[in-house]
Amino acid sequence: MDEKSYEKPSRRVSVPWVMNAPARNERLVMMTAYDFSQARLVEQAGADIVLVGDSLAMVVLGHTDTLSVTVDEMLHHVKAVKRGVENSLLVADMPYGSFHLGRRQTVAEAMRFIKEAGAQAVKIEGRRPETVAALVDVEIPVMAHLGLTPQSIHKLGGFRVQGRGDGPRTELLEAAREIEAAGAFSLVLECVPADLAREVTAVLEIPTIGIGAGPNCDGQVLVFHDLLGLEDRLSPRFVRRYAELGSDARRALSAFAEDVRHGRFPSPAESYDDPEHLRAEPIRKIYG
Ligand code: KIV
């Protein structure tokens, strides 16, 4: 895309605007971001929703799953992302352990994302209609997340497709209905068969946002590092890499290292008070 043609949302995206997207027949674009410059990039690229996902644990902090990231670590990054977002809706993912110990804990932790970090909504994983209702009751909009919920990795036995077979399919449909009835404003569907995602999308009024859930959701989300080719440890089939920034970055960083080793960086033009005459001197004389 040409640099000038980027389309950051020209209006401030709100929760009602997201909820009405299916009625407007408009597809939602969500991308993750974890810091200020990533937030600016995804907003400038036209993201309606910027999600600070707990995928932070894996793609930024280097863990092998999402379980260990804490509320404080998430808050640190949500605050940075907030500084880079003007018009997109900012959603903070509630990490594992922050909404599992009852209503009081859930509300208190979720409020930190709103009050301290400036998020406009939170996302929670799993079939938890009471939790959704408790948050909506204190004015916190909730994006729900069903299907492959990485916080349940031990229970699920790994990162694998969910909702296959009659029982799991019916269970997921029921969970989606319950969550909508509890007041969620949108639903992420991760790694489920495309026809199940289509059915969920058809029966719900709130928008579905798919990741590995086929083309018939109301919107799509990808993780920043996956779509830019910065993450190479896992490559699920649902990821489309729109760039290979990992290899570009390695090339650039090696070129810098080579230039330094061979005395090609910095050049006189990149130095103050032209030190060209010093270049003929042995290096130890310059430093010594
Ligand atoms: O943590 C995350 O990035 C997510 C998205 C993949 C939906 O939950």
pLDDT tens figures, 164-198: 999 999 999 999 999 999 999 999 999 999 999 99
Residue 186 CA, chain-centre distance (Å), reads 15
Residue identifier of the C-alpha nearest atom 5 of ligand 1: 53
DSSP 3-state of 216: coil
Residue identifier of the C-alpha nearest atom 1 of ligand 1: 53
Quote the pLDDT of residue 120. Answer: 98
How many whole angstroms from 245 Cα to the centroid of ligand 1?
A: 20
- Using CA atoms, how far apart are residues 92 and 78, in angstroms rounded to an integer? 7
Locus of tokens 């061979």: 262
Q: Which atom of ligand 1 is nearest to the CA of 51?
A: 3
Residue 7 has pLDDT above 80, yes or no: no
- Using CA atoms, how far apart are residues 57 and 68, in angstroms rounded to an integer? 7
Contact between residue 44 and residue 36 where contact means Cβ atoms under 8 Å apart: no
215: its two tokens: 């083309």
- Using CA atoms, how far apart are residues 67 and 96, in angstroms rounded to an integer? 6
Give catalytic status of residue 190 as yes or no: yes
Count of residues in the chain:
288
Quote the pLDDT of residue 235. Answer: 81
Residues with CB under 6 A from ligand 1: 32, 51, 53-55, 93, 145, 188, 211, 221, 223
pLDDT tens figures, 35-77: 999 999 999 999 999 999 999 999 999 999 999 999 999 999 9
Tell me which residue of 92, 170, 158, 103 sits closest to 125, measured CA to CA.
Answer: 92
Ligand 1, from 54, 153, 223: best to mutate by most atoms within 8 Å of Cβ? 223
pTM strictly above 0.85: yes
Inter-CA distances, 72 with 114, 122, 163, 166, 169, Å: 13, 15, 33, 40, 36
Cis bond leading into 9, ω under 30°? no
- Residues in a beta bridge with 190: 147, 211
Average pLDDT of 228-256?
A: 94
19: its two tokens: 């909820």
Residue 1 has pLDDT above 70, yes or no: no
Tell me which of 109, 190, 199, 231 is the catalytic residue: 190
Please state, rounded to an integer, the average pLDDT across all residues of the chain: 93
Quote the pLDDT of residue 4. Answer: 44
Dihedral of the CA atoms 121, 153, 126, 194 (nearest 10)? 90
Quote the pLDDT of residue 210. Answer: 98
- Using CA atoms, how far apart are residues 160 and 157, in angstroms rounded to an integer? 8
Quote the pLDDT of residue 285. Answer: 52
Residue identifier of the C-alpha nearest atom 8 of ligand 1: 53
Report which residue type is found at 37: S
How many whole angstroms from 53 Cα to the centroid of ligand 1?
A: 5
71 vs 6, residue with greater confidence: 71
Burial of 240 (C-beta count, 10 Å sphere; 0-12/13-18/19+):
exposed
Q: Which atom of ligand 1 is nearest to the CA of 32?
A: 3
DSSP 3-state of 268: helix
- Using CA atoms, how far apart are residues 95 and 55, in angstroms rounded to an integer? 9
How many whole angstroms from 102 Cα to the centroid of ligand 1?
A: 23
Q: What is the CA radius of gyration of the chain?
A: 22
How many whole angstroms from 67 Cα to the centroid of ligand 1?
A: 13
Quote the pLDDT of residue 263. Answer: 94
Quote the pLDDT of residue 11. Answer: 79
Domains of the chain and CATH, by start: 3-243 (3.20.20.60)
pLDDT tens figures, 216-225: 999 999 999 9
pLDDT tens figures, 104-134: 999 999 999 999 999 999 999 999 999 999 9
